[in-house]
Amino acid sequence: MSAVLPPAADGSAASQAGVDLAPAAGGAPRGGFWHDVFRRLRRNPTAWIGAVIVLLFVLVSLLAPLLAPYAETALPGARQITPTSIPGPGEVDGFPLGLDRFGGDVLSKLIWGAQSSLLIGVVSTAYGLIGGMLLGLIAGTFGGWVDNLIMRLVDILLSVPSLLLAVSIAAILGQNQNSVMIAIGVAQVPIFARLLRASMLQQRSADYVLSAQTLGLGRGRITMSHVLPNAVGPVIVQGTLSLATAVIDAAALSFLGLGGGRPETAEWGRMLTYAQAELAIAPWLAFLPGICIAVTALGFTLLGEALREAMDPRTRGR
């Protein structure tokens, strides 16, 4: 087993992850930990598939004002809708994916819905990541009764299914998009807290931490300069995977009517809600947003799993 050295000056965890710091056979020194992670990601076809899906989702979201034929709340075909007949894909000129019950262009709503899902997914995951890392950092740094108190709180939150917890919080805060983002973020906090705390406890017993303590470095400096940079890897992976969960949970909360806004608002979960009544006569109104949700979640999941594999020291060197 190679000796464990302090982290490199650039913050990499190469030595801790077991990466050989000696020059390669060709004479050129190998890169650090993150260089090795990106190298392995480039060789993983799963990572490429996930990255392409995520990149496409992000581009559609950011360019929605340019890509969508109509505005988010526009109802250009409202006068063409009858209670028993909803135009399907290709049945009305200018509406390639047809119209919904309100007369809204389905294609435009799918594009604007991507923007809404991206906003909710990123913001809610950021809430959970910040809150969870803060709790995990405090628990992993101080230990003792502080650690026990925080972990018991985390255990209580983990005892409730995350979606049920999110539904409860959103119902208390009110029916609006901000409530949905806060609810999903709070539901993710215990996952990040437990993960960071466990990773920090593992790093605290490493040789480089003992060496830093021998040199007289304070606990705060050791934690922020050495332990935290080496412990944050699993949290980054979980953050990528949590984006997929956030997209699904956001659609679920909107489906239950907790997202607020007007009925014709462009959001994938809300589109599914109003597609139930027309499922027999217009099934595409449910299939299209459902496919968008599934493909987006799949992209984040594939990318997260590829990142997890690339950062796993047990598969390093393959």
- Given a cut of 80, is residue 178 above it in pLDDT? yes
More confident: 65 or 78 = 65
Q: What pTM does this model have?
A: 0.80
- Given a cut of 50, is residue 6 above it in pLDDT? no
- Given a cut of 70, is residue 150 above it in pLDDT? yes
- Given a cut of 60, is residue 138 above it in pLDDT? yes
So what's the pLDDT on residue 11? 45
Looking at the DSSP bridge assignments, the partners of residue 105 are 99
- Mean per-residue pLDDT of the chain: 82
What residue type is assigned to position 45 of the chain? P
So what's the pLDDT on residue 10? 45
So what's the pLDDT on residue 314? 62
More confident: 224 or 189 = 189
So what's the pLDDT on residue 195? 92
Q: 166 with 183: CB under 8 angstroms?
A: yes
So what's the pLDDT on residue 156? 92
More confident: 241 or 260 = 241
DSSP calls for 245-300 = HHHHHHHHHHHTT-S-S-TT---HHHHHHHHSTTTTT-THHHHHHHHHHHHHHHHH
More confident: 171 or 30 = 171
So what's the pLDDT on residue 312? 72
- Given a cut of 90, is residue 129 above it in pLDDT? yes
DSSP calls for 73-90 = T--TTGGG-BTTB---TT
So what's the pLDDT on residue 275? 86
- Given a cut of 70, is residue 194 above it in pLDDT? yes
More confident: 20 or 44 = 44
- Buried b / exposed e across 40-76, counting CB within 10 Å, b at 16+? bbeebeebeebbebbeebbebbeebeebbebebebbb
So what's the pLDDT on residue 83? 61
Those residues whose C-beta lies under 8 Å from the C-beta of residue 88, and which sit 6 or more positions away, are 98, 282, 284
- Given a cut of 50, is residue 256 above it in pLDDT? yes
Domains of the chain: 33-80+115-315 (1.10.3720.10)
Looking at the DSSP bridge assignments, the partners of residue 95 are 92
So what's the pLDDT on residue 95? 87
- Given a cut of 80, is residue 212 above it in pLDDT? no
pLDDT, tens digit (0-9, with 9 covering 90-100), for 273-313: 888 888 888 889 999 999 999 999 999 999 999 988 888 76
